[in-house]
Homo-oligomer: A and B are copies of this chain.
Amino acid sequence: MRKILEAAERLFAVNPAATMEQVAQAAGVARTTVHRRFATREALVEELTGWAARRFAEAVESAHPDSAPPLVALYQVTVNVLRVKTDWWFAMNRTAGDSHREAARVHAEVREGCDRLLRRAREAGVLRADADLDWTRRVYYALIHEAATEAAAGGASGGGDAEALATRVVDTLLRGFGSPTGPVIA
């Protein structure tokens, strides 16, 4: 069953319309077996979004975002999330938010936790006082997604790579790419 979920996650990340037959093949089982485990395709999708969301939330929670120093927490959350490699939640989150209440609830909670962390970071002087937290969080999410995509494409083997990527993500979030002495636009 775990095998099926993992295969589904990989497939759906690339093609949300992947068939049950494709999932079965990727999992190395017969389609009947997939049907036995998940009564319908919808049930598989539901289970998968819930599973992905829980893993994501656990990755975030294990970084202690509410108690660790803001910068440390930011970095650790990023490392943990990159390690989990939940390719799926990002794509699916966009198209099925409303029909998967559990996953939507988990993501909403994670979002609130992220907002709290960013607020703490702002108060601690890690972020600029005028940083728009909503936009900051969206950018943060996008950066993680890009890093995860790059890791998946490069055949990353986890471990050290997740840490280097997380460093890159947090650095980009805090500093951007502009030259310290270069022009600014706003």
Among A14, A75, A125, find the residue whose CB has the most chain B CB atoms closer than 10 A.
A125
Residue in chain B with minimal CB distance to A71:
B183
Number of copies: 2
Q: Does any Cβ of B come within 8 Å of A95's Cβ? A: yes
Q: Give CA–CA (A127, B183) in the complex, Å.
A: 9
Q: Give CA–CA (A176, B121) in the complex, Å.
A: 14
* Contact in complex: B175, A176 (CB < 8 Å): yes
Which listed residue (B131, B135, B142, B167) contacts A186, Cβ 8 A? Answer: B167
Contact with B along A154-179 (1 / 0, CB 8 A): 00000000000001101111111111
Q: Give CA–CA (A54, B176) in the complex, Å.
A: 29
Residues of B within 8 A of A138 (CB): 146, 150
List A residues 134-149 near B (Cβ within 8 Å): 135-136, 138-139, 142-143, 145-146
Residue in chain B with minimal CB distance to A176:
B176
Residue in chain B with minimal CB distance to A166:
B185
Known: A138-B150, A172-B135. A71 touches B185 (CB 8 A): yes
Residue in chain B with minimal CB distance to A178:
B174
Q: Does any Cβ of B come within 8 Å of A184's Cβ? A: yes
Q: A129-B179, A138-B146 are in contact. List 8 more A-B contacts (CB 8 A).
A: A71-B183, A71-B185, A125-B179, A125-B181, A125-B182, A128-B178, A131-B177, A171-B186
